[in-house]
Amino acid sequence: MKYTAFTKYHEELGARMVEFAGFYMPIQYEGVVAEHKTVRNGVGVFDVSHMGEVWVKGPKALDFVQWVTSNDASKLTDGKVQYSCLPNGKGGIVDDLLVYRFDDETYLLVINAANIEKDWNWFVKQGEKFGLTPGKELYNASDEISQLAVQGPLALKAMQKLTDEPVEDMTYYTFKKLTFAGVEGVIFSTTGYTGSGGCEIYMSNDDAPKIWKAVFEAGNEFGIKPIGLGARDTLRLESGFCLYGNDIDDTTSPIEAGLGWITKFTEDKDFIDKDYLLKQKEEGVSRRLRGFEMIDRGIPRQHYEICDAEGNVIGEVTSGTMSPMLNTGIGMGYVKTGFTKFDTEIFIKVRKKLLKAKIVKLPFYKG
């Protein structure tokens, strides 16, 4: 099991620690609902050092990124970030990721913790086509980088105290390399997976303790608190964001998953599964990932059956919870295309009971 540079702080703060994707991580501190509301209303800090980081460099960097990702990375300019996915050559998804452009020959790919080894092997295999050498043009820096996600409507205001560079007015999905809390070369990115704004901060492992302390001191007047992975999951679901391993995986296509907006079919971009996914887009698919809200009282959970009024199975729940902000059961799942229109009545099978729900537009929470 791997430990992050912040593990001792989690333990000192009394976090409930669990094994997650091979890492020893905090699942919660004071409780998921309280932590969830801290992020929605103020500012909270997540240790996301378990995420993976892979550098792609050299004259073939963009060609490689264009080939392995579904989105159009040629639209990126220096300092911009793009959400994308990695088609797997069989119609499914290797992983979803963030693509950072530093310059026309330098890109950073940020990948999911559970997929670091799988993604790296995939990059190495695909990199052969472009003459990219592992350890040189392709470099796995995952074990060298620590990361904090400082999220919430007050996050940028609090973090502005730690840098002379203006960050409060930074556009969503942009980044800067700056001096932060006295540490040079920190990557400060206005990204995050909560839907409440904020930033993600990348640093070397050696600088992590200094930055952790500075972040909490700067955020003290704003009621800053540490947040665990439990609230990270409820926040991303409330915001309608997919979680790899639940809502998307090697068996789900980006078109089925509603990720057509990050799947760009432009003439000058060739990418893995392009023809297959274009055919799906033009001819349609037999199922779609949809959000739903419970009408009857109940909490949907992963793998619960989704049924029609007669009890026929029409899909399966991929993610579900009780929304802390809406105080109602919400979830996502794949349903047959005849049941995908918004406001369509569906039923979730909970302990042999059919509980009424309806298809809704994402995100669930729009605050």
Q: With a cut of 90, say whether residue 76 has pLDDT above it.
A: yes
Q: With a cut of 90, say whether residue 367 has pLDDT above it.
A: no
- Give the strand pairing for 44-47 and 225-226: parallel
Distance CA 237, CA 194 (A): 8
Amino acid 281: pLDDT: 97
Do 127 and 164 lie in one domain? The reply is no
Q: Domain span at residue 129?
A: 52-138
Mean pLDDT of 76-100: 98
25-34 as b/e, with b when 16 or more CB fall inside 10 Å?
bbbbbbebbe
Whichever domain contains 111, its CATH number is: 3.30.70.1400
Do 336 and 315 lie in one domain? The reply is yes
Of 142, 91, 134, 138, the closest CA to residue 115 belongs to 142
What does the pLDDT look like over 22-57, one tens digit per residue?
999 999 999 999 999 999 999 999 999 999 999 999
Phi, psi values for residue 4, rounded to 5°: -95, 170
Do 177 and 191 lie in one domain? The reply is yes
Q: Which two tokens stand for residue 100?
A: 């950072």
In the three-class reduction of DSSP (H, G, I as helix; E, B as strand; rest coil), residue 101 is classed as strand
What does the pLDDT look like over 333-365, one tens digit per residue?
999 999 999 999 999 999 999 999 999 999 999
Do 211 and 342 lie in one domain? The reply is no
Of 85, 103, 189, the closest CA to residue 147 belongs to 189
Mean pLDDT of 286-293: 98
Domain ends where: 223, 238, 253? 238
Residue tagged 């002379």 (tokens) = 164
From edge to edge, which strands make up the β-sheet containing 138-140?
A: 81-87, 93-103, 106-111, 52-57, 138-140
Amino acid 91: pLDDT: 98
